[in-house]
Structure 1
Amino acid sequence: MPLWHVYHPPGAYSPVQKKQLADDITEFYARIGLPRFYVMALFHEVEASSFYVGGEPAQNAVRIVIEHIARHATDPAARRRTREALAALVAPHTTERGLYCEFHIDETAQDLWMMDGIAPPPARSEAEQRWARENRPVPY
């Protein structure tokens, strides 16, 4: 499961802009075969008085915390490609709009994850493909 936390100033994103970013995030992962329902994006508005960068209140900063659970990249080149692809994904929603942006990716152990009380099926398995087709967790 990719879980994205997007911390941003109030008013930085309209509902339409949030939906577009969530769609772009979802499409990124769907292209590599993850079920769409694996992808979650949470938007957190943070007042400048509670958001500091370098000890100064931030009025135009976006901080994104990405948690990868369903897939992990172990090869350094693959990790770099992932980082660069995600930077390109967020740029139209952040830096290209004049917002300072920083993100990082955490990788959580897959065996500590469940959906509706079901442990997700192995990566790229027929069961996972069924989850993707039905867009929901089903016993396997």
Structure 2
Amino acid sequence: MPLWQIFHPPTTFQTSESKSALARDATALYARILPAFYVNVIFTSVDPSSFYIGGISRPSNENDIPFIRIFIQNIARTLPSSPTGPTKEQTRFLTLVDEVLKPHIEDKGYEWEYHAIESSKNLWKIQGMVPPEAGSEGEEVWRKEGKAVKL
């Protein structure tokens, strides 16, 4: 399950269309290999008086550029890692995330930051069921059904 939490000021992502567009693009990033319903995107509007960067509320009189903070949690799949730096797979993932965010954030002139973490699949269930193994027939059934079903 990828979970994208998007923290933004009230002046951004004001319409369901703008939220839906980013959610669709984030889902498309994963839907090549995962059932689309695994992807969760949550938009949280945060008042500038509750959103501080470097001790300064954002946006503020000192910096009126909206700031977007994104937290990505991946559970369904993990990427190879290395203690010496990003792997080519991790770099590719970050490049794909950048491509997803570009039209929705960068091209609008917003400032942003994101990070991604990977959690253990061992502590994940959907509808009380442990998801099928990656690439399995069961996962393909879930993909076709568009929901978790008993196998």
1:25-104 → structure 2 map (5 Å cutoff): 25-31=26-32, 33-59=33-59, 60-75=66-81, 76-104=87-115
Which residue identity lines up with residue 67 of structure 1 in the other structure?
Q
1:18 shift after superposition: 0.1
Q: How does 1:14-25 map to 2 (within 5 A)?
A: 14-25=15-26
* RMSD value, Cα: 0.9
Residue deviations 1:49-105, cap 9 Å, x none?
A: 111111111120000000000010015110110011101111111111011010000
Structure 2 residue matching 1:124: 3-state secondary structure: coil
Determine if the alignment matches structure 1 residue 119 to structure 2 residue 130. Answer: yes
For 2:56 and 2:102, how far apart are their aligned partners in 1? 23
In the aligned structure 1, how far is the partner of 2:26 from the partner of 2:4? 9
Query: In structure 2, what is the Cα distance between the partners aligned to 1:84 and 1:55?
Result: 29
Q: CA–CA distance in 1 between the matches of 2:31 and 2:75? A: 15
Structure 2 runs not aligned, ≥5 long: 60-65, 82-86
Once residues 127 and 11 of structure 1 are traced to their aligned partners in structure 2, the CA distance between those partners, rounded to angstroms, is: 43
Note the C-alpha offset of 1:11: 2.8
State TM-score, norm by structure 1.
0.96
Equivalent residue number for residue 106 of structure 1 = 117
Q: Which amino acid aligns with 1:49?
A: S
Partner-residue secondary structure (3-state), 1:92: coil
TM-score by length of 2: 0.89
Partner of 1:137: 148
Question: Offset at 1:28?
Answer: 1.1
Which residue type is aligned with residue 145 of structure 2? E
Structure 1 moving runs of 4+ over 6 Å: none
Larger radius of gyration: 2
Q: Which has the higher helix share?
A: 1
Number of equivalenced pairs: 139
